[in-house]
Amino acid sequence: MPSLPEKIVDFHAHLFPDELFEAIWRFFQREYGLPVVHQLYARDCIDYLRARGVETIVYSNYAHREGVAGTLNDWNLRLLDETGGIYCFAAFHPGDDDAVRMIRRVFSHPRVLGCKLHFLVQRFYPHDERLFPLYEEVLEQGKRILLHVGTGPIGNEYVGIAHLKKVLDRYPGLKLNIAHMGAFEFRDFFDLLQQYPGIYLDTSYCFLPDNFRMFRLGNSVLESLKGRLLYGSDFPNLFHHRREELDALLGMGLSQDFYSRVFRENAHDLLCTHTGT
Ligand SMILES: [Zn+2]
């Protein structure tokens, strides 16, 4: 019977300042009619995950509009300095006057892996040319971008692989983490992995119970991709208990090698590449 490694890495969690967390929880309730299950503030999130075997937490936050990335990133840098064992995808908004200068400064922190772009929420296109200086900075500084660019669980005109391909045509060396394994365009994102060795997919939200399950393509494709997948939870902004997705993944009866790689080894290799630790 396979099991999870005793200590795991969560490569897709969220931490926000208290008032932003509260705003997000209110928004989710209003928009989706469902309460966020784990309404925990940043420190409590870290303690909660640590108590459950998550040794390393890679978190992100995003600027839902202009003018907030600077404050968020000041908060990120403070949190990183106060807390060991956590890594960050920082906030960026291309509409900010000092966007590139600010992100250059934030990138100089060794535990800032890169930044997060959330095209569904931020409502600009991946190939928006205001992002080109960011992509160039990411390449130059050996950083990585966490992208919410898929059409699932919900989409709009700014998400979808066709938009991302335009970016990759221009910047084929970009190192990217694709949230939610690219749902719902799974097969197309899997194909991208062949061509672009710097791309990884994270599992967040793909293995929820019942009708919420997004990934239904079976085990063999997961086994074939196990070197390029990273476990992520989207914690704490979940409509299900975090444990349910873990149970679903374990219940799929994938190989021990799959669980070891996806929950720990791939993440360690990636962190080592980016930070040397
Ligand atoms: Zn997320």
In the chain, domain spans: 8-275
Q: Give ion ligand 1 contacts, CB < 5 A.
A: 234
CB 146 within 8 A of CB 177: yes
Q: What pLDDT does 1 receive?
A: 84
Residue 15 has which token pair? 């931490």
Q: What pLDDT does 212 receive?
A: 85
Please give the distance, rounded to the nearest whole angstrom, from the Cα atom of residue 14 to the centre of ligand 1: 6
Please give the distance, rounded to the nearest whole angstrom, from the Cα atom of residue 61 to the centre of ligand 1: 8
- Of the pLDDT bands very low, low, confident and very high (cuts 50, 70, 90), residue 276 is confident
Please give the distance, rounded to the nearest whole angstrom, from the Cα atom of residue 221 to the centre of ligand 1: 23
pLDDT-wise least confident of 27-31, 208-212, 231-235, 260-264:
208-212
Read off the pLDDT of residues 156-201 as tens digits, 9 standing for 90 and up.
Answer: 999 999 999 999 999 999 999 999 999 999 999 999 999 999 999 9
- Of the pLDDT bands very low, low, confident and very high (cuts 50, 70, 90), residue 260 is very high
CATH among 3.40.50.720, 3.20.20.140, 2.60.120.380, 3.30.930.10 for 8-275: 3.20.20.140
Region 52-81 average pLDDT:
97
Q: How far apart are the first and last CA of the chain?
A: 32
Please give the distance, rounded to the nearest whole angstrom, from the Cα atom of residue 234 to the centre of ligand 1: 5
Percentage of residues in the chain having pLDDT higher than 70: 100
Please give the distance, rounded to the nearest whole angstrom, from the Cα atom of residue 11 to the centre of ligand 1: 10
Phi first, then psi: give them for residue 188, nearest 5 degrees: -65, -40
Region 205-211 average pLDDT:
89
Residue 209 confidence (pLDDT) above 90: no
Of the candidates 36, 29, 20, the one whose C-alpha atom is nearest the C-alpha of residue 237 is 36
User: Cα 38 to chain center, whole Å?
Assistant: 18
Residue 277 confidence (pLDDT) above 80: no
Where helices occur in 160-228 by DSSP H, the ranges are 161-170, 186-195, 219-224
Please give the distance, rounded to the nearest whole angstrom, from the Cα atom of residue 37 to the centre of ligand 1: 15
Please give the distance, rounded to the nearest whole angstrom, from the Cα atom of residue 103 to the centre of ligand 1: 20
Q: How far are the Cα atoms of 58, 200, 268 from residue 227, in angstroms, in the given order?
A: 18, 9, 12
Region 141-156 average pLDDT:
96
Please give the distance, rounded to the nearest whole angstrom, from the Cα atom of residue 166 to the centre of ligand 1: 23
Read off the pLDDT of residues 110-119 as tens digits, 9 standing for 90 and up.
Answer: 999 999 999 9
Residue 210 confidence (pLDDT) above 90: no
Please give the distance, rounded to the nearest whole angstrom, from the Cα atom of residue 179 to the centre of ligand 1: 7
Please give the distance, rounded to the nearest whole angstrom, from the Cα atom of residue 250 to the centre of ligand 1: 21
Q: What pLDDT does 236 receive?
A: 98
Model pTM score: 0.97
Residue 203 confidence (pLDDT) above 80: yes
Region 247-261 average pLDDT:
96
Q: What pLDDT does 177 receive?
A: 98
- Helix, strand or coil for residue 44? helix
